[in-house]
């Protein structure tokens, strides 16, 4: 049997589609454990309606204690030999469980890893893991996966994606790694479970198929800012708790350095809050060639690009003249108009900032922009600066902070 754990918190707009996609799986030997984590909307009621119609759906209502605790409660209540997760605002393909179980049992592995759809508005893109599909026994894991498991030889391209929901686990392999995750984590909680779990696994199978639909809500892409002290404490807690878990597994494959890159990847988009003294700098971090007063166009309207553009507009330290993305129709909001790359020629600026975190995409866009506008005008993040000890300290990540 497969246990499918569904943490739910105020997702009434989406939970019907989520649970319907699970209940309609072609593989029927499943239990669906829904953890209603103190929802204040209609989510709990909708979940109960599903449980009345389908005896495989078990709903646990509890006070709000966060995603990590909800996942732990779901795992503790599970009975299946295999476990996977689906977040309450996402959904899965109808044959997801059937295909994953087939591979798990045919290949006799501990974890099956697959791709995902990244859905925003009308756009749906496929993303695959950073390794060749196939079976990896322990020796092959040690040789080919672990040395670039988190960061696949660049900043930033995933090796194995950090999410729990694009994987089917043997329950006995998953259990301790999930239970070891700090309940207070509010970001990076998937990675805190997945990477120690992969280090403990004896074998995995990577599929070159996509089953999981990850919904990116456009309205939530630019997150609210909190106090510097609160944000830094969250990131320190994540970094050092996972570092401890990785060290217990033995840092034989450079996983600590990879983990540090992962943390920098998380923190760069929130540098406006986390970086001590950023408001006094004479350049735009992490673009040292862009000085105060320069005019800029931001290319990239993902989480990083939108937040950077918002910061530029709020501070007035730089003249932000527009934000650009190929998917401008889906990424525009009432608060932020994203324009097409075709409109860039009409906008004068000193610089074009490539505000894209993932390296392959970043480099491809950089090369395109250089061809159109010249090398001097196009700026990408300075990776040597990002990885410097000075920046690590400025983010408040040193142990003596």
Please report whether residue 235 resides in a domain.
yes
Kindly tell me if the per-residue pLDDT of 218 is higher than 80.
no
**Whether pLDDT at 393 is above 50:** yes
Residues 154 and 232 occupy one common structural domain: no
* Residue in 356, 354, 358, 349 with CA at minimum distance from that of residue 380: 354
* Overall domain count for the chain: 3
Residue 201 CB-density burial (10 A; 0-12 exposed, 13-18 middle, 19+ buried): buried
Let me know if residue 147 belongs to a domain. Answer: yes
Does one domain contain both 169 and 55?
A: yes
Q: What is the pTM of this model?
A: 0.91
Cβ neighbours of residue 254 closer than 8 Å, sequence gap 6 or more: 147
User: Is there a domain that residue 282 lies in?
Assistant: no
Average pLDDT across the chain, whole number: 94
Residue 362 phi, psi dihedral angles, 5° rounding: -60, -45
Summarize the confidence of residues 227-253 as an average pLDDT: 89
pLDDT tens per residue, range 275-284: 999 999 999 9
212, 146: one domain: yes
Q: The tokens of 116 are what?
A: 């995902």
Domain match, 207 and 235 both: no
Task: Tell me whether residue 317 is in a domain.
Answer: yes
Please give the pLDDT value at position 224.
46
Asked if residue 296 and residue 261 are part of one domain, the reply reads no
Residues 181 and 249 in one domain: no
Claim to verify: residue 265 and residue 175 sit in the same structural domain: no
Please tell me which residue, 109 or 335, carries the higher pLDDT value.
109
Residues 148 and 247 in one domain: no
Same domain, 67 and 195: yes
pLDDT (mean) for 325-334: 93
Write down which residue in 221, 236, 264 finishes a domain: 221
Q: Is residue 300 part of a domain?
A: yes
| Structural domain includes residue 314 | yes
Which structural domain range is residue 361 located in?
287-381
CATH of the domain at 137: 3.90.550.10
Residue 101: inside a domain? yes
User: Residue 225 pLDDT more than 70?
Assistant: no
- In a shared domain, residues 366 and 266: no
pLDDT in tens, 99-133: 999 999 999 999 999 999 999 888 899 999 999 99
Angle at 115 (CA atoms; ends 259, 93), nearest 5 degrees: 140
Residue 346, Cα to own-chain centre: how many angstroms?
A: 35
- pLDDT at 325 exceeding the cut of 80: yes
CA dihedral 176, 191, 263, 142 (to 10 degrees): 80
Q: Supply the CATH number for residue 335's domain.
A: 3.40.50.720
Q: What is the pLDDT of residues 244-273, one digit of tens each?
A: 999 988 778 999 999 999 999 999 999 999
| Residue 179 sits in the same domain as residue 71 | yes
Q: What is the 3-state secondary structure (H, E, C) of 76-126?
A: HHCCCCEEEECCCCCEECCCHHHHHHHHHHHHCCCEEEEEEEEEECCEEEE
Within a domain: 296: yes
Q: Do 189 and 211 reside in the same domain of the chain?
A: yes
């Amino acid at each position: 049997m497969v246990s499918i754990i569904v943490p739910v918190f105020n997702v009434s707009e989406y939970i019907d589609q989520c649970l319907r996609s699970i209940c309609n799986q072609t593989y029927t030997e499943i239990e669906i454990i829904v953890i209603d984590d103190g929802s204040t909307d209609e989510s709990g009621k909708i979940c109960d309606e599903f449980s009345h119609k389908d005896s495989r759906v078990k709903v646990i209502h509890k006070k709000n204690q966060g995603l990590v605790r909800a996942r732990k409660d779901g795992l503790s209540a599970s009975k299946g030999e295999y476990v996977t997760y689906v977040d309450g605002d996402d959904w899965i393909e109808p044959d997801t469980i059937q295909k994953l179980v087939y591979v798990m049992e045919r290949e006799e592995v501990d974890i099956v890893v697959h791709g995902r759809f990244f859905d925003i508005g009308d756009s749906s893109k496929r993303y695959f893991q950073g390794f060749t599909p196939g079976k990896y026994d322990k020796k092959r894991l040690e040789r080919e996966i672990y040395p670039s498991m988190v960061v696949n030889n660049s900043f930033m391209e995933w090796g194995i994606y950090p999410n729990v929901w694009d994987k089917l686990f043997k329950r006995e392999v998953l259990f301790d790694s999930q239970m070891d995750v700090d309940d207070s984590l509010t970001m990076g909680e998937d990675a805190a479970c997945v990477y120690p779990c992969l280090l403990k696994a004896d074998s995995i199978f990577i599929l070159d198929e996509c089953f999981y639909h990850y919904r990116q809500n456009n309205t939530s892409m630019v997150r609210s800012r909190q106090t510097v002290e609160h944000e830094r404490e969250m990131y320190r807690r994540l970094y050092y708790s996972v570092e401890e878990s990785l060290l217990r597994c033995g840092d034989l494959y450079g996983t600590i350095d990879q983990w540090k890159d992962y943390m920098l990847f998380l923190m760069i988009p929130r540098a406006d809050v986390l970086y001590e003294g950023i408001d006094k700098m004479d350049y735009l971090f992490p673009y040292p060639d862009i000085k105060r007063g320069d005019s800029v166009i931001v290319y990239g309207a993902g989480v990083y690009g939108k937040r950077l553009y918002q910061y530029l507009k709020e501070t007035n330290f730089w003249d932000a003249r527009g934000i650009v993305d190929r998917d401008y129709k889906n990424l525009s909001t009432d608060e932020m108009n994203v324009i097409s790359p075709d409109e860039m020629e009409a906008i004068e600026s000193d610089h074009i900032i490539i505000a894209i975190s993932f390296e392959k995409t970043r480099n491809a866009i950089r090369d395109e922009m250089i061809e159109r506008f010249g090398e001097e005008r196009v700026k990408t993040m300075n990776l040597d600066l990002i990885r410097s000890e000075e920046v690590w300290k400025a983010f408040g990540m040193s142990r003596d902070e």
